[in-house]
Structure 1
Amino acid sequence: MQLPAAPGAVLIDLAGVLHVGSDAVPGAVEALTRLRATGVPLRFLTNTTRSPRQAIVALLHELGFEIAAAEIHTAVHATRQLVDERGLRPHYLIHPDIADEMGPSHTEPSAVVIGDAGPHFTFDGLNQAFRLLMQGLPLIAMARNRYFKETDGLSLDLGAFVAALEYAAGIEAEVVGKPALPFFHGALHELGVEPAAAVLIGDDLHDDIGGAQRAGIAGILVRTGKFRAADESDEEVHPVLVVDDFAAAVRAILGG
C-alpha cells in the first residue's frame, strides 16, 4: 500500500497525535493549519469514551486547534447511533461523563454496552455486566484499545475490561470504534471519498494503522502518544510511513 499522490481526504486520530493529555503535540497546531489551507477534507476519529464530543471540542479549542464538532467521529456517538438503529435496550457500563450523551440504562436490557469508565470501573459493576452476559445478552464495546498515553505516562484502556468480560463469559464483543471497518468507512462515506484515496494519521499501530489498512486506507504512524519502538518491526502491520510527529506526517502528505 502506498500514499495516494493527492489524498482525497485525511483521517486524523486525536489523542497521541494532536495532543497528549492537556498538552498539544509541538508543531501540531501549525501543521493542521497548513493542511487545512490545501482544502483537503478532514475528519478526526477518536476512540476516547470518557468524554462527550463537546468536551473534546472544548479541549481542542483551548489547545489552539480549529476543529468543529461535526468533523469529529467519536466511538461514543457511533455507539449511540448503533443502539438507536437496532432498537436496543442497553445496560451501560460507562464513564458518568458520557451518561447524558448515551441515555439511561434499561431495567430489562437486551445488550450490555461498555465504554472506558476509568476509575469508575468496580467489581460490582463488572460482575453485574458479567451476569447479564451469562444470560445470553450480547456485549457491545465502544472500543478495545489496550492503553493510551497521558501526560504522566501510559494508562490502562477499555480493551483490558472488554477482554476480561469476553474471557469470563466465553463470548466475543462487537466493537464499534476503531479498528471496526464501518467506523472508518462511515467517515469517508460522509465525504464521498473512496478508501484508496484517503490517508490516516495515528499513533496506535493496530487499532489506527492496522484498522485503516484493513479498510483499504493508507496509514501513517507517528512516534508520539502510545507509539513504541517495537511498532516499527511488527510482523503483522506495516505502515506506509513512520514519522516523528503530526507535523512530519503533514509534510509527507504535502510532498515535503
Structure 2
Amino acid sequence: MISGVLLDIAGVLYDGNVPVPGATEAVERLRQSELSLRFVSNTTRSSKASVVAQLGRLGFPVAASELFTPAQAALSWLEDHKRTPHLLVHPDLEPDFAGVEQRKGKAVIVGDAGETFDYRRLNRAFRALMEGAEFLALAPNRTFKDADEKLSLDAGPFVAALEFGSQRKATVLGKPSKAFFDAALTSMNCPGAEAVMVGDDAEADIAGALKAGLGHALLVRTGKYRQGDEKRFKPRPTAVVEDIGAAVDWIARKRS
C-alpha cells in the first residue's frame, strides 16, 4: 500500500533554473491523486522562504508547511536543547536563523557555505567545538550538481574535515537522518512503510530513506545521478527510473 510520497527538489523537479521536462505535470498528477505529498530538500544555500518562492516561479506551487529543510530541523533542535547557533553556512541561509534567542550554550551548525568557506571560518568553528559547542551538520551530502552542469563539493567534505580535526561526530539534521524523514511523514500522518521517496542522490535520498523505514525509494536518472550510482550504496533503490514522470508512473502502477 502507498499513501504518501516524499519528493526531493533540486535534480528531481528542476535542474539549475529549469524544470525537468514533465515535472510540473508529474507533481500535478500526484496532487490530483489521494496521496499525501511533501517536499524534502537538503538545500542549505537558500532560506526556506526563497526555496518556496523559487518553486512557485518554476511552476511548483508549494506551501511552506509542505517543505522540509535542514535549517528548519536545526531551529527545532536549538529550541529543544536551548543553544545559540555558531553558523558556518551560506549567507543566503542566515535569515532563517535571525531572531534565535541568545543562550549561554552554543552549537556549531555547518551547511554548504559555498565560496564563503575559508580557513578563518573553518578554524573559528573548530575552536568553538574544542570549547565544548555541540556539532550539527545540516546535511552530509558529498556533491551537488552546480550551475555549470558539473559536480561541486557540498557540505559533507567540510563536515568531515571538522570531525577529523575535532575528533567529534556531527549530528546530521537533514537527509539521511531518520528524524528528518519521520518529521515529514508525521506531518502527513503517513506510516513509513506506506511511503515512497523519490530522489537523485543514491546515498542521502535513497539509502537514507530505506534505512529510515520507508517502504520504497525511487532513484531518478536526472540531477546529480551518475551511471552506476544505484550500485554504490546499500540499501539499493527499489527501482531506477528515468525522471519524476516515470516515478509517478511507477507509483500509479504499484497502486493499481
TM-score normalised to structure 2 length? 0.93
1:181 maps to a residue whose letter is K
Separation in 2, partners of 1:82, 1:109: 13
The equivalent position to 2:244 in structure 1, one of 241, 246, 249, is 246
Alignment check: 8 A CA contact 1:23 1:151 kept: no
Q: Could you list the runs of 5+ residues in structure 2 that have no partner in the other structure?
A: none
Query: Residue 19 in 1 paired to residue 17 in 2?
Result: no
> 2:228 corresponds to which residue?
230
The equivalent position to 1:130 in structure 2, one of 118, 126, 130, is 126
> 2:154 corresponds to which residue?
157
* Count of aligned pairs between the two proteins: 251
1:60 maps to a residue whose letter is L
Alignment check: 8 A CA contact 1:91 1:109 kept: no
Shift of 1:135: 2.1
C-alpha spacing 1:119/1:107, structure 2 compared with 1 (3 Å): farther
The equivalent position to 1:92 in structure 2, one of 67, 87, 94, is 87
SS at match of 1:255: helix
The C-alpha deviation readout for 1:120-173, integer Å capped at 9, x for no partner, is 111100011111112232211111100111231212100011001001111110
Query: Residue 141 in 1 paired to residue 129 in 2?
Result: no
SS at match of 1:229: coil
Higher relative contact order (CA 8 A, sep 6+): 1
Separation in 2, partners of 1:84, 1:55: 23
Query: Residue 59 in 1 paired to residue 54 in 2?
Result: yes
The structure 1 segments of at least 4 consecutive aligned residues displaced by more than 6 Å after TM superposition are: none
Shift of 1:66: 2.1
2:60 maps to a residue whose letter is F
1:165 maps to a residue whose letter is L
Q: Could you list the runs of 5+ residues in structure 1 that have no partner in the other structure?
A: none
The C-alpha deviation readout for 1:9-61, integer Å capped at 9, x for no partner, is 10000011001121111110111111111131100000101111111111111
2:157 maps to a residue whose letter is A
Separation in 2, partners of 1:92, 1:112: 6
The equivalent position to 1:178 in structure 2, one of 171, 175, 178, is 175
Query: Residue 70 in 1 paired to residue 83 in 2?
Result: no
The C-alpha deviation readout for 1:194-237, integer Å capped at 9, x for no partner, is 10011010011110011110111110000011111121323623
Separation in 2, partners of 1:90, 1:15: 26
Alignment check: 8 A CA contact 2:112 2:155 kept: yes
Structure 1 vs Structure 2 CA RMSD: 1.6
Alignment check: 8 A CA contact 1:76 1:142 kept: yes
1:33 maps to a residue whose letter is E
Query: Residue 116 in 1 paired to residue 112 in 2?
Result: yes
C-alpha spacing 1:175/1:20, structure 2 compared with 1 (3 Å): same
